[in-house]
Amino acid sequence: MNIAIIGSGLTGSLAAISLAKAGCRIDLYERLSDEELINRERTYAITHSSRKILEKLGIWSELASLMVPFQYLNVLDYELNNYFQFLINDLKPSDKKYSTVGWIAEHRIIMAFILKFISNVDNINKIPTSVIPNTKNYDLIVAADGSSSNTKKKLKTPSFNFSYDQICITVKVLLRGVKSNEAFEILNSEGPFAVLPLGGDIFQIICSQSIAKGKYNMTLSKSLLLDYLSTILPSGIEPDTIIDEPNSFPINFVFNYSFYSGKYLYLGETAHKLHPVGGQGLNLCWRDVDCLTKLISIPFFKKNYSLIPITYSLSRLVDVLSISILTDSLVRYSRSNFNIFSLPRKCIFYILRKSSICRRFILNIMTNGL
Ligand SMILES: Cc1cc2nc3c(=O)[nH]c(=O)nc-3n(C[C@H](O)[C@H](O)[C@H](O)COP(=O)(O)OP(=O)(O)OC[C@H]3O[C@@H](n4cnc5c(N)ncnc54)[C@H](O)[C@@H]3O)c2cc1C
């Protein structure tokens, strides 16, 4: 089967490897150089669903050695002044044996690794261009050209989207008073924020807040930004040094009504974009890749490949929808007016703190999808 993939971000690149391994001939179109693809300041939470996909492709063990595992995911609600932890024991038995709740990966490291891997796969042909390929030359076209996809615009594919009226600030910080194997999800009235371990005392803070406050914080000197961070971090955790330049980006939600149009399939952020703080974005993108690879490997679809787009679109619906709703609920929970919603918040938190069955249920959806 001849497949064109538009976009060589983490979704398109992994799709190229996975589909090439399934026997397809791949033309991989990308407008940026490898250096530009690698040089992005992003940090991802990697779940067991991604671990399983990378294991199938034979690239997990090498990649895992470049990531930072964490054993504790602390969820703090500042309004309730309460917390609970997701632990290894809350995972399914098959995931528990890895002795980690998840892994933290820096974009530069995994992108460089995956691009190097692609250069050794025979049936992937990299084409450096932004011109959308001619459909006649391919059996299927995978659009993985990101959330502002030109392919989607050209095909006029409708989507549900809105802006969170927030921006996200990411900053790498040296912290004192925190273990190197714990991550935090903090529910704060400004918006949720995450603290992710990057090894040793270094942590990535991903902090969502109102546009006005975020813009103001981005004008602060590093020492004033450190002071601000010390006011929002849990007591006992002290920010010591800012390691890199802080970054900020607007946050919006995108959900395509359909994940295909004719012989075009939408994968990754072309199809769905979530609030980054849930740590689900990249894992969901890679589950798209896994779903498409499974369909293409079924003998029936090798002969009837025109049925792949609609089957793929229907197969991805439940997982993408449920993770989108869960992530959005987390943001709304965090920003809800405590005076009005204090009772439901107390109930939800009490249940998750006390019931290991509920914690397992939520963690399993977050880590393996539906
Ligand atoms: C600023 C920013 C910060 C983020 N931070 C986080 C984070 O902290 N944690 C997290 O989990 N997720 C984060 N995300 C989301 C995460 O980056 C994505 O989920 C993930 O990278 C998968 O993206 P993708 O490959 O689907 O799309 P992208 O990474 O956007 O890749 C799309 C690729 O398509 C290429 N392209 C576009 N048009 C064309 C064309 N016409 N022809 C050829 N190539 C084309 C682009 O150059 C690009 O390389 C962030 C996203 C953004 C935009």
C-alpha 55/C-alpha 233 separation (Å) is 35
What pLDDT was estimated at residue 345?
Answer: 86
What pLDDT was estimated at residue 132?
Answer: 82
Q: How far is the CA of 279 from the centre of ligand 1 (A)?
A: 14
Give phi and psi for 166, each to the nearest 5. -140, 160
Q: Which of 31-35, 97-101, 306-310, 335-339 has the weakest average pLDDT?
A: 335-339
What pLDDT was estimated at residue 222?
Answer: 94
Q: What is the mean pLDDT of residues 339-353?
A: 86
Q: How far is the CA of 207 from the centre of ligand 1 (A)?
A: 19
Share the mean pLDDT of the chain: 94
pLDDT band at 295 (very low <50, low <70, confident <90, very high): very high
Task: Give the 3-state DSSP-derived string for the chain, with helices as H, strands as E and coil as C.
Answer: CEEEEECCCHHHHHHHHHHHHCCCEEEEEECCCHHHHHCCCCEEEECHHHHHHHHHCCCHHHHHCCCEEECEEEEEECCCCEEEEEEHHHCCHHHHCCCCCEEEEEHHHHHHHHHHHHCCCCCEEEEECCCCCCHHHCCEEEECCCCCCHHHHHHCCCEEEEEEEEEEEEEEEEEECCCCCEEEEEECCCCCEEEEECCCCEEEEEEEEEHHHHHHHHHCCHHHHHHHHHHHCCCCCEEEEECCCCEEEEEEEEEECCCEECCEEECHHHCEECCHHHCCHHHHHHHHHHHHHHHHCCHHHHHCHHHHHHHHHHHHHHHHHHHHHHHHHHHHHHHCCHHHHHHHHHHHHHHHHHCHHHHHHHHHHHHHCC
Q: What is the mean pLDDT of residues 323-346?
A: 87
What pLDDT was estimated at residue 135?
Answer: 86
214 Cβ below 6 A of ligand 1: no
The answer to whether residue 230 scores a pLDDT higher than 80 is yes
Ligand 1 atom with the shortest distance to the CA of 43: 8
Residue 134 half-sphere exposure toward CB, CA atoms < 13 A: 2
Task: Kindly list the distances between the CA atom of residue 79 and the CA atoms of 184, 229, 341, in Å, as whole numbers in the listed order.
Answer: 16, 18, 11
The answer to whether residue 113 scores a pLDDT higher than 90 is yes
What pLDDT was estimated at residue 89?
Answer: 94
Using the CB atoms, write b or e for 168-181: b if 16+ within 10 Å.
bbbbbbbbeebeee
Q: How far is the CA of 254 from the centre of ligand 1 (A)?
A: 13
What pLDDT was estimated at residue 334?
Answer: 87
What pLDDT was estimated at residue 333?
Answer: 87
- Of 316, 215, 192, 209, give the one whose Cα is nearest residue 266: 316
Could you report the per-residue pLDDT of 252-284, keeping only the tens digit for each? 999 999 999 999 999 999 999 999 988 899 999
Task: Give percent of the chain with pLDDT exceeding 70.
Answer: 100
The answer to whether residue 323 scores a pLDDT higher than 80 is yes
What pLDDT was estimated at residue 88?
Answer: 96
The answer to whether residue 44 scores a pLDDT higher than 80 is yes
Give phi and psi for 244, each to the nearest 5. -130, -175
CA-closest residue to ligand 1 atom 4: 42
What the block records as the tokens of 222 is 């590093």
Could you report the per-residue pLDDT of 124-161, keeping only the tens digit for each? 999 999 888 888 899 999 999 999 999 999 999 999 99
346 Cβ below 6 A of ligand 1: no
What pLDDT was estimated at residue 337?
Answer: 78
C-alpha 275/C-alpha 103 separation (Å) is 19
Task: Give percent of the chain with pLDDT exceeding 90.
Answer: 87
What pLDDT was estimated at residue 161?
Answer: 93
Classify burial at 236, counting beta carbons within 10 Å of its beta carbon; exposed 0-12, middle 13-18, buried 19 or more.
exposed
What pLDDT was estimated at residue 341?
Answer: 79
- Of 172, 152, 216, 153, give the one whose Cα is nearest residue 190: 216
C-alpha 204/C-alpha 194 separation (Å) is 8
Q: How far is the CA of 149 from the centre of ligand 1 (A)?
A: 10
CA-closest residue to ligand 1 atom 21: 10
pTM to 2 decimal places: 0.95
CA-closest residue to ligand 1 atom 11: 44
Q: Using an 8 Å Cβ cutoff, are 173 and 184 in contact?
A: no
C-alpha 115/C-alpha 126 separation (Å) is 10
Q: How far is the CA of 250 from the centre of ligand 1 (A)?
A: 14
Q: What is the mean pLDDT of residues 78-106?
A: 94
Amino acid at position 152, single letter: K
Q: What is the mean pLDDT of residues 223-252?
A: 94
pLDDT band at 365 (very low <50, low <70, confident <90, very high): very high
Ligand 1 atom with the shortest distance to the CA of 204: 8
Q: How far is the CA of 12 from the centre of ligand 1 (A)?
A: 10
Q: What is the mean pLDDT of residues 52-75?
A: 96
Q: What is the mean pLDDT of residues 341-361?
A: 90
C-alpha 60/C-alpha 52 separation (Å) is 8
The answer to whether residue 361 scores a pLDDT higher than 80 is yes
42 Cβ below 6 A of ligand 1: yes
What domains sit in the chain, N to C, each tagged with a CATH number?
2-68+102-161+252-335 (3.50.50.60)
Q: How far is the CA of 148 from the centre of ligand 1 (A)?
A: 9
Could you report the per-residue pLDDT of 169-217, keeping only the tens digit for each? 999 999 999 999 999 999 988 889 999 999 999 999 999 999 999 999 9
